[in-house]
Amino acid sequence: MLKDVFHRILFAGLLTVLLTTTANAFDGIRRGFVVGAGVGLTANAGWSADFSIIPDQSDNTAGFGGAFLLGYAWDNQNMIVLEANGTRYSTDIGTREDVSVVQGFVGPAWYHYFGPTGTSMYTVVGAGAYIFQWEHDALGFSDENDPGPGVVVGGGYEFTDQLQVGISVGAGRTEESEAGTRFDHTHINVMLSYVVY
């Protein structure tokens, strides 16, 4: 009971701070709070692992890419965000065929814009965690590896206010703890993103 009251008070306090500090946010100036999302294609997503029963297994395939970011721009050229940048695709893992996979980077990232809002090249670099989750619909089986270290790098062009196209490369390592199998991962996303500031 007391725990629920504490959570409600904490939520109300955070909501109050958020609402009062966003009065000047989302005004079209790349300064202050930013939120964005991107969709596109994964040109290449891959994983490799050395299973005890099937050594040296790997797969590289195309898929659907997506990203979400939430953060703060401290001036017109720089913003720091919490970014999720990943992919969804189908693959074969071990002895399981046609497995649906979600993998990607999650963590802090820094965006740097080289020109004025609406007509600028940009770069992104981030370091955080890499995730790998998979499910086999026909067998009703799903699992996720323990997250490991991950990075993302990329760049692109903001061609209108808040609309940008870019390419990003993510890489990381996860581990399936029950078997002690390490997975190495990569993904290359080409996305159209909408960033509100």
Q: What is the pLDDT of residue 3?
A: 47
Query: DSSP letters of the chain?
Result: -HHHHHHHHHHHHHHHHHHHHTTT-SSSSSSEEEEEEEEEEEEEEEEEE--SSS-SEEEEEEEEEEEEEEEEESSSSEEEEEEEEEEEEEEEETTEEEEEEEEEEEEEEEEEE-SSTTSEEEEEEEEEEEEEEEEETTTTEEEEPBPEEEEEEEEEEEEETTEEEEEEEEEEEEEETTTTEEEEEEEEEEEEEEEE-
pLDDT tens digit sequence for 35-45: 999 999 999 98
Class of the CATH domain delimited by 26-196:
mainly beta
The predicted model scores a pTM of 0.80
pLDDT tens digit sequence for 94-136: 656 778 889 999 999 999 999 988 889 999 999 999 999 888 7
Domain locations in the chain as residue ranges: 26-196
